[in-house]
Structures are given as structure tokens and as C-alpha cells.
Amino acid sequence: MGVYFNPSNESFTKDRNYKIYIDKTGLLEYLNESMGTPKNCIALSHARRFGKSLAAGMIDAYYSLGCDSTKLFEDTKIAESSDFKKYMNQYNVIHLDISSVWDFHKEDLVESIHDRVCEDFQKEYADTLNYDKDLYLLIQEIYSRTNIPFVIIIDEWDCVIRNSNDKELVHRYLQFLHSLFKSEESKAFLALAYITGILPIKKIQDESALNNFREYTMLDSYPITEYYGFTEEEVRELCREYDMDFESTKAWYNGYLIDGKHMYNPNSVSMAMDRHKFDSYWKNTSSFASINTFITMNYAGLKDDIMTMLAGGKVRVNTNSFQNDFSTVGSKDDALTALIHLGYLGYDADRKNAFIPNYEVATAFEAALQIGEWKDIAKIISRCDELLFATIDKEADKVAEIIEQAHDTYTSVLKYNDENSLSCVLTMAYFTAPAYYNIVREMLSGKGFADFTFIPRANAGWRPAMVVELKYNQSADTAIKQIKEKRYQGALSGYGDKILLVGINYDVDGEDKKHHTCVIEEWME
């Protein structure tokens, strides 16, 4: 039993012992079907904290000769498989985390990997091997002696590609991977290759070393999508178990639409359940830096698209031009595709649309906008809480003033003189409200559709339900009258005693051109 060669099952044991554990062992059955076939090389590229490393630890525990995992896999889905015992703890396993090596050995990466694995080989084979040989030749020799095939797991395999501009180093690293996964020798000793990263395999000739891998990405990971992230059914069950509101959980952490499945960030959901609190658990410097990197590129149309998505819309993205690295990003579509792979945008493959998936990610964008030409927009967003409180406190003039400021700020992006533009402005102006409300646009109610309905979530506390009606070239009083006449407020029956009716108008023509007015009333039967 070693660190890199035939590791123990300690990593997966810790995951199983954690009170929030979702059984993803069905992935092992899929891997078993690939074992020793021409489809035995699998590349998984997903955003950070989506369960890639957890899966790698599970694969260690299941295949490694360095442990006995019989009890560990009791009462799991894989235990129901007829081939459960056939594959369990039957393979020589090599597990490498490239990021941990890269941190200290950027110049001699390949040599350091070789030395670390050989140290583990020595514990098993002492001086019976020639450790001066290339790693793949040593593996071949061990296989020849034992007739035990190898499972090779490389976590964060793309760390070098993402972080190095040294073409010679990248080339040596890729040749090293070629020897492990595509050499003549590897065809004999390799039972399964499993590599994980953030980026798909780079589209350059040099990476033919990896062109035998089947790829599973944030764009398309069928049929193993459900094993990375939490499914909606799994999150519902967790919410029942931990007495957390499902709709609030959905607003905060849902939105990743992969192969038609709604997938949730597993780290964030687990943290929310554990702490019994909704918060942005992706809130760290890497979140800011990643978004900041791409939105500051300011390619033609990028700002418009970001604004559209911040306002709750979707934008069409051509993902085909992206070269699967960050250094060659050369267009708006490349920048948006990079953000999809990083998990900061969701993607609808059927419609080819990108969108901001949930409120947690929206807050990461909010932080990233505190720069350059985005500062004016960030200033408006910073007043979102002020706007919400002003609305609740029925300070109609202040509400009108903040919305007018927001509308003026967005004029370079949005068409000004129609009701739809005001709807987009309202979505942006109440940017932070989804933390407490389910905001429904054009909700069917009474005799028509309310423009905006603010339905309090379980965590809304004292915040009231609200119906917002928009008008232009009319009056805010007209908007209030329409709410009452068409009984839009009826959709909120059962949401507490207090319902606010909010009418907003702006004038496009005349002396009050571009002037906003607001009327707020508390609904009384």
C-alpha cells in the first residue's frame, strides 16, 4: 500500500463517513463495462467542486490491491451488480494528483512524477527493478511479472495546460501521458485510464497523445452525468432530511442543465445542509479571478450578453471555436465557453444557450463587476438591497429614483422605450432579491399576467409578498388599478397577511421624458 501506487481506501472511507453522502457508485458499473475494452480511456472535465476528486477516491477504493473494501461498499448500488466482486480490489492502481506535484515541481514535473511513483514501487519490489527506466516501461515489467493489469487515475491532468506557457514542458508532459495511455506497451498493461480536469482535451496536434479518450464535459457528459453533482431528486431528499426549503435550495444552487438533467453543485448543497444556511460557498478569490479574467476581455458583444444574462436572459453561444485552453481565447464565444467549463455559466445544449445558473453564481458575477467599465453597473447592483428595503417600507419616491438611475445606466445595452426594457431593468435592480424571493415574470393570476410576482421563500422572514406592474407613457396609478381590477394579487393568497402592490411607470415623451414614478400600496380586502 502506497501513496501513488496501490493506495488505500482512506479517502473514500472519509467521504462515506461524512453525514451527507450520496451514493454515486453506479459510476463503477459503467467503468467495469469499459474495463479492458477499446473504450477504456475516460476523460472527465467538470467545474471545480463537482465531485471529480471524490469519484477518483472511490475508484481507488474499489480497484486498488492496496486495500480490502468489501465492507466499505456494502449497501451501495455497485454491490447489487453481478460483477461486484469480480473487479473489486483486483488491480494495480496508480493515482496521481498533478496539481499537488505542479505546486513544487514546475520545471521537473515529469521527473518528479517518475520519482514519486518509483518510491512506492521500491516498497513493493525493492531493488528488483531498474528504476532508471521510463515509468511506462517499469509498469510493463511489473505487469509481465504479475499479470495484473493497471488502473491509472490522474486527477487535475490539465493543470499543466492551464498554467504553463512553456511549450517544451507541455510537450514533454504530453509525451509522458502518451507513453502511459497510447504506447504499444500500454495496450497490454492498461485496464482502465481515468483522468479528470476542468478543460476538455486541447485541440492541437501535440495532444494526439490523448485522442483515444472518450470525453465527458459540462457540455455533454452522457451517460454518466448523474454521477457528478447532485440530481434534483437527491437534493429533494436532502432537503427533507435536513429540514431545508427545496425551492430556496434550487434558486441558490441549481441551474446546470447537462444532458437534460438538472444538476446541483454538490459542495455548495452539502455546505448549506450542514450549516443550515443558504450562502455563497463558492465565494473565494478563484471565483472572482476566473470571471474577472474573461469579462475584462471586452470582446464585441460580450458586455451585452453578460448584461442579458444578469437580467435573467439567455444568450446563444458557439462553443465549437474554443480551443480548450485559456491562453487562446479570441472571441466573445470563447470567453463564454470558458465560463461554461468553469461552472460560472449554465448551458442548454439543445438550444445552444448560455445563462447564469443560480443565485450563488450571480453573486460571484456581482463581485467581479467591481472593475473598469463595469463599475457603473456594479454601483447600481450595490443599491439592490436599498431598493428592496425601500419597496418594503413603501418609500415610493426612493424606489422610482433608484430604478431611474438603473435605467439610465443600462441605456447603452437595452432599448429604452418599451416595457420589456423596463422588465430587464427591474430584474437587475432587484438583483439580490432572489435570495429571499421566487420572482416570477408574467405570472398567470386572476384575469391576466402580473409583470412581476415576488413570492417569499421560506427564509424570507418578515419580507412581504409583492406584485409589481410596469407601465410606460401612462401612470403608476394606472398600474395599481390594473393589479386590483385583474386581481393579480390573488396569486399570492396563502403567502402571509401582507401583500404589497407596486406600480411603476416611466414616460418616454413630453416634459417628463425618461422620468420614473412609483406608487406602493398595501393590499386590503
Q: Grid cell 439543445 — which residue?
A: 350
Tell me what the pLDDT averaged over the chain comes to: 89
Integer Cα distance of 252 and 243 in angstroms: 16
With cell 470567453, the residue in question is 335
- Give residue for cell 458557439: 318
Looking at residue 416, what is its pLDDT? 45
Check whether 209 has a pLDDT greater than 80: no
CB 227 within 8 A of CB 24: yes
Strand partners, 195: 43, 154
Give the model's pLDDT for residue 277: 94
Q: H or E segment at 348?
A: strand 346-348
Give the span between the Cα atoms of 108 and 125, in whole angstroms. Answer: 25
Q: Tell me, what's the pLDDT at 91?
A: 98
Question: How many residues does this entry show for the chain?
Answer: 525
More confident residue, 328 or 230: 230
**How many Å apart are CA 417 and CA 384, to the nearest integer?**
23
The answer to whether 417 and 508 have CB atoms below 8 angstroms apart is: yes
Q: In which band, very low, low, confident or very high, does the pLDDT at 283 lie, cut at 50, 70 and 90?
A: low
Residue 506's pLDDT is 84
Taking the alpha carbons at both ends of the chain, their separation in whole angstroms is 74
pLDDT band, very low/low/confident/very high, at 1 (cuts 50, 70, 90): low
Task: Report yes or no: 91 and 191 within 8 Å, Cβ to Cβ.
Answer: yes
289 vs 46: which has the higher pLDDT: 46
pLDDT, tens digit (0-9, with 9 covering 90-100), for 387-429? 999 999 999 999 999 998 888 887 655 554 455 667 778 888 8
If pLDDT is split at 50, 70 and 90, which confidence band does 37 have? very high
Q: What pLDDT score was predicted for residue 486?
A: 83
Residue 298 has pLDDT above 90, yes or no: no
The per-residue pLDDT for 167 is: 85
For residues 302-309, give the mean pLDDT.
86
> Of 17-26, 252-261, 419-428, 513-522, which range is least confident?
419-428
Residue 450 burial by CB count (10 A; 0-12/13-18/19+): exposed, middle or buried? buried
Q: Nearest CA to 306 among 251, 368, 388, 255?
A: 368
Q: What is the pTM of this model?
A: 0.90
Residue 497 CB-density burial (10 A; 0-12 exposed, 13-18 middle, 19+ buried): exposed
Structure confidence at residue 447 (pLDDT): 46
* CA–CA gap between residue 229 and residue 231 (Å, rounded): 7
pLDDT tens digits, residue range 73-111?
Answer: 999 999 999 999 999 999 999 999 999 999 889 889 999
DSSP 202: P
Instruction: Give the Cα separation of 311 and 329 in Å (integer).
Output: 25
pLDDT score at 480: 94
pLDDT of residue 285: 52
Q: Are 314 and 346 in contact (CB under 8 A)?
A: no
Q: Which of 11-20, 29-38, 190-199, 380-389 bottoms out in mean pLDDT, i.e. has the lowest?
A: 380-389
Question: Within 10 Å of residue 227's Cβ, how many Cβ atoms?
Answer: 22
* pLDDT(296) > 90: no
Residue 208 has pLDDT above 50, yes or no: yes
What is the amino acid identity at position 210? Answer: L
